[in-house]
Amino acid sequence: MSDRKFFVGGNWKMNGSITQYKSLITDLKNAKLDPKTQVVIAPPALYLLPAKDLLQDNDKIELSAQDGYHKPSGAFTGEISLVQLKDAGIPWVILGHSERRTIFHETDEDVATKTKAALEQGVNVILCVGETLEQREKNESIKVVISQVEAAAKNINDWSKVVIAYEPVWAIGTGKVATAEQAEEVHKAIRDWLAKSVSAEVAKTERIIYGGSVNGKNAKELASQPDIDGFLVGGASLKPEFVDIVNARL
């Protein structure tokens, strides 16, 4: 097993209510979490600051936004900028999630621009990449994923502030998890690409996490793969089994 710190993110997406976020965070604070796992939760933007208050006395659970806009301020109704996230003390942002790419038509170029803006603000990035079912069936998974990583990589000069999340689109929210072998193959391809195109050191230290229908039952096998360094969890991050995912390496 590598000495990369295991990383588990909880992406709540557009779910929850005031009552629910309070109870989810309180339960998580009271849970026995593997101290060797880095835990980051991403509630809807509306709940980030009250969540921060709730987590004030806790140094184990960090917060992430689910997106951030690259312009610092201005007439961009509905957006929240990376400058504002930094100002609010939110240390992480998810960028390039497949729902942003598919539903909101974000391109590789948009994701690269946002990545640049996040790193300029010192906000850590969970960079999401992944192929569609059609692309997998055409045997294009690795090509697609590498081109998505490559597009953002041109704007990344500090890889220690970036976690790459491999999330096959066909596995997100579908209950169809990638097999450990399928995930490992892509993770290894990303790591090999980093070794070739960035540096051996970055390839060795970069966390590459898996997302797509991870749950309390399948997490352990996935976590045992040499190039899987954690998870980005959607549905199961709203359930008690999130704790089992955080503890997958125990």
Q: Where along the sequence are the contacts to ligand PGA (CB under 6 A)?
A: 11, 167, 172-173, 211-214, 232-236
Q: How far is the CB of 99 from ligand PGA (least distance, A)?
A: 7
Active-site hit among 97, 106, 131, 187: 97
Of 41 and 85, CB closest to ligand PGA: 41
Contact status, residue 69 vs residue 79, Cβ threshold 8 Å? yes
**Catalytic one of 167, 184, 187, 206:** 167
Please give the torsion angle defined by the CA atoms of residues 245, 127, 55 and 173, in that order, rounded to the nearest 10 degrees: -50
H or E segment to which residue 38 belongs? strand 37-42
105 given a catalytic annotation: no
Told to judge if 97 belongs to the known catalytic residues of this protein, a careful annotator would answer: yes
CB contact at 8 A, 92 and 119:
no
Q: How far is the CB of 11 from ligand PGA (least distance, A)?
A: 4
Q: How far is the CB of 92 from ligand PGA (least distance, A)?
A: 13
- Please, what sign has the CA dihedral across residues 140, 144, 150, 151? positive
Closest CA to 248 of 201, 215, 204: 215
Query: Which of 41/82 has CB closer to ligand PGA?
Result: 41
Are the beta carbons of 213 and 174 closer than 8 angstroms?
yes
Ranked by CB distance to ligand PGA, the top (closest) residue is 234
Nearer to ligand PGA, 102 or 199 (CB): 102
Q: How far is the CB of 196 from ligand PGA (least distance, A)?
A: 27
What SS3 state is found at 68? Answer: coil
Active site residues: 97, 167
